[in-house]
Chains A and B, each alone.
Chain A
Amino acid sequence: MNKRVCLNCLLVIVFLLSLVGCAPGDQAGATGNEPAPAASSQPQGNTPEAEEPAKKGGDLIIAVPANLEPASFDGHIDPFQSTWLYDSFISDPLLILAPNGEYQPALAERWELSEDGKSWTFYLRDDVYFQDGTPFNAEAVKYNFERVKDPALGSAQLSDDLGPIKSVEVVDEFTVRLNYDAPWATLLDGLRRMPIWSPTAADKYDKNEFDKHLVGTGPFLFTEWVANDHVTFTRWEDYGGWNPIQNHEGPVYLNSVTIRFIGEEAVLGGVVANGNAHIAQELPAAYVVDYQDTQDATLMTGYQAGTGLQWVMNTTSPPLDQLKVRQALLYATDQDEINEILYDGLYLTQKGPLNSVHPCYWDGVETMYPFDLEKAASLLEEAGWRDENGDGIREAHGVPGVENGAPLIIRFSALHHEEIGEALQLTYKEIGIDLKVEVIPGPVQLDRVNQRDFELMYERQRSPDPRILDQIWNSKYDQPGGWAWSGLKIAEVDQLLEEIAASSDIEYRCELAKDVQRIVMENAGMLPTLSQPVYYAVDNSVKDFLLGAEGNWFFLNNAYIVD
């Protein structure tokens, strides 16, 4: 064989190797960064009493999917749950959402809402200071509120969550008051995620630089961030245990926490079993079984209230501007089958705009569109889509706004979970729909939405608050930068959502939310698919790792590692 042949053989081999994904590279990275689990956790000797166990500690490694890596670690700017979670290591918020679903005081000792519901008063702890020594007081909190609300900062979400604050008032050194023109019910849900940064540190850096030098009041110092690889937090020795979750005084037990961002599912699936991390978050469904019957690790399941994996329908242009076509898609979707085929039944089916673990979930959606291919086919007939040329795909015949003979092609645009689209593709083909599955990156998604250049677009929002319905279905957010993409404009829905935003009575808000869910589904505004439980594989050497009320949130205040 000559050189050329050999070169090509080599290319083939390299290609085949690439099948193993980036596994070899990732694993090399793993062993590179790895302080062998629990190796440095046990300082020798010095146990004061014989019965006292060795000092608790450890260097915790958590592997997470690469898509959880924040673009900016500054939660005042970045709009993602994972950013706020990592921020909570560096800075305690004013209050937390405890695992039992209650708001509990953290840096604020207590709070009260005025009679008219328009002003919130927070009474702050007086014994807190930031990691750089700056005292924590009402001025510092005011600084943080004003920073988030400053349009120049470009807050992508938190500013909306805090609502239209009229003024921030420093009542005394440890009392701060927020004033609104109208009641703003969802403030606490924003506050539990909002990190409180040291004003000294935030002033020192440009807003684009500050996310590499975050300084808060939390249990860990922000030590190192290597993009596309990992972020490391180390224990702050002067931490006062100000988080109500913490069961002991002083600093936390863990010496450090490293979050590793893993791009390949296959690597993430094996990372705990092969000892390269202590915890794997969002364990892929195919690997769940590996951790079900093992002595070495525990499988934990978190549920994330929110929307589930949903595909918003573009109701402004053909073919999804026809209600019957949209409803046909809903009738033709067999979630149980998809769940069984793709995820061994480990996901949750989701039939409406809120998923079934949401506190305001309305179960009426479950009977609205039972799987029925015949019904779906007849709806398509009625809408003017018939297959007359016999190629198996329907064409338009007298459909308004569509040239006669144009095939029924619907794009399914996914950021991830594209396999759901591939499964739908098989079923939809049976009723003559050509579903095109495409995987697009986030920026392309937003660009397409702004151009209204999509049919089915992936959108997921996560929050136990019914206000997410407002963001997605209130037509006033149908604008660049908004999250209402379907183009539906239903006065009744808009009005219900305004009421939800204004009311502070959670039961009443849920009642309203149920009507919204019904109307959205009657108008088939989106295609709900499955809802993804958050699986954690936790090595048994990790103790007291505590999941939050939301599946993607956890607390490390009490965690430690034993040999």
Chain B
Amino acid sequence: MNAVMDHNTKFSQVEKISRTRAKLDQFAYRWRLFSRNKGAMVGLVILIAWLSVMIFADSIVPYPPLDKVTRARQAPSAEFWFGSDMLGRDMFSRVLYGSRISLALGVISVIIGAVPGTALGLIAGYFGGKVDDIIMRVLDALLAFPGILLALVIIASLGPSIQNVMIAVGISTLPQYARLVRGSVLTIKELVYIEAARVIGCKPIRIMLHHILPNAISPIIVLSTLQVGNAILVGSGLSFLGLGAQPPAAEWGLMTAAGRELLSKAWWISTFPGLAILSVVMAFNLVGDGLRVALDPRMKVG
């Protein structure tokens, strides 16, 4: 009896090691595909730069972002690289600090949209029939609204704040995940190994999480990466309209809005936060695009 158990344990250890090695190989292969894409690499570098700014903001900003440090509306200079805003706060520090809110907004709202969206898509796709109909029709109704409009409606009922923007943007992207995952599930669940799993008595929840989800994850990752950029853009747009971050927060959308009345007098107040949004959103799109290529199972390394 003991011998058999030993044998089993040994076997599974060997299996584990070989699985890990296969995963590493797989990763190296995907990374090679990804790194050949110049755009994606540029995007990745920008993202890493912004991430480090976000993490070390406290120690790299030259001035406290919320305090008046010089005269109002000073043009960019050696001392104040991006000039000062209409209250005399340092724009450079504020733009750097703004990465915290914007990146957090992007990631959190994607989680808010992706997790329930994926779950609903799995359930709808796996069970099919009435369950599928009910879930998908409700989500279709959500899809009928343009994303920004849906976000506006949600903000209108929850009240303007950056947390509510995360919720609003998350909910408005939820149907996209559900549709995407459901599509993959419909294909995967007809495959033989799923049938095998069902035959040996696996519970639906196990089949969904262990057998279907890992094989449907690639498009979710690609969509999520692209959505982070999109969420930052929509979030900044909502803040621009006064529905997101509230003053004195150093948020890019809010900063562009504050400078817009003075664009012909003090262009730097709106321009630098605008460029920050541009760079982050572009970076996420480039990386997302690179991931799409790298994670596509049909892609072969030439």
Interface of A with B (CB < 8 Å)?
1-2, 4-5, 8-9, 11-12, 15-16, 18-21, 264-266, 269-270, 284, 286-287, 341-342, 418-419, 421-423, 425-426, 429, 436-439
Contact = CB atoms under 8 A, between A and B. Distances in A.
Interface string B222-246: 0000100110010011001010001
Contacts of A426: 66-68, 87, 248
B88 A266 contact: no
B247 A341 contact: no
A342 B258 CA distance: 12
A5 B289 contact: yes
B72 A342 contact: yes
B10 interface: no
B286 A5 contact: yes
Contacts of B99: none
Q: Which of A15, A18, A264 has the most CB of B within 10 A?
A: A15
B157 to A, nearest CB: 14
B282 A9 contact: yes
B133 interface: no
Interface residues of A, dominant DSSP: helix
Nearest to A18: B240
Given A9-B285, A12-B277, A284-B261, A1 B39 contact: yes
B262 to A, nearest CB: 6
Contacts of B160: 438
Nearest to B271: A19
Nearest to A337: B68
A270 B264 contact: yes
B102 to A, nearest CB: 13
B57 interface: no
A374 B9 CA distance: 74
B285 A8 contact: yes
B226 A8 contact: yes
Contacts of A12: 233, 277-278, 281-282
Contacts of A286: 261-262, 265
B270 A19 contact: yes
Interface residues of B, dominant DSSP: helix
Contacts of B237: 15, 18
Contact of A341 (B72, B258, B259, B270): B72
A12 B275 CA distance: 10
B109 interface: no
A438 B242 CA distance: 9
B260 interface: yes
Nearest to A7: B285
Given A12-B281, A426-B68, A19 B265 contact: no
Q: Which of A5, A265, A341, A419 has the most CB of B within 10 A?
A: A5
A557 to B, nearest CB: 34
A425 B248 contact: yes
Contact of B236 (A1, A15, A425): A15
A419 B281 contact: no
B179 to A, nearest CB: 15
A423 B263 contact: no
B274 interface: yes
Given A5-B285, A8-B281, A341-B68, 10 more contacts: A5-B286, A12-B281, A15-B236, A15-B277, A266-B260, A286-B261, A425-B248, A426-B87, A426-B248, A437-B246
A341 B247 CA distance: 17
B260 A15 contact: no
B164 interface: no
A15 B278 CA distance: 9
B93 interface: no
A419 B285 contact: no
Contact of A19 (B230, B274, B285): B274
B256 interface: yes
Nearest to A426: B68
A284 B288 CA distance: 44
Contacts of B44: none
B260 A20 contact: yes
Nearest to B292: A2
B86 interface: yes
A32 to B, nearest CB: 22
Contacts of A21: 260-261, 263
A5 B289 CA distance: 7
B261 A4 contact: no
A563 B237 CA distance: 44
A312 B226 CA distance: 47
Contacts of A437: 246-248
Contacts of B281: 8, 11-12
Contacts of B264: 266, 269-270
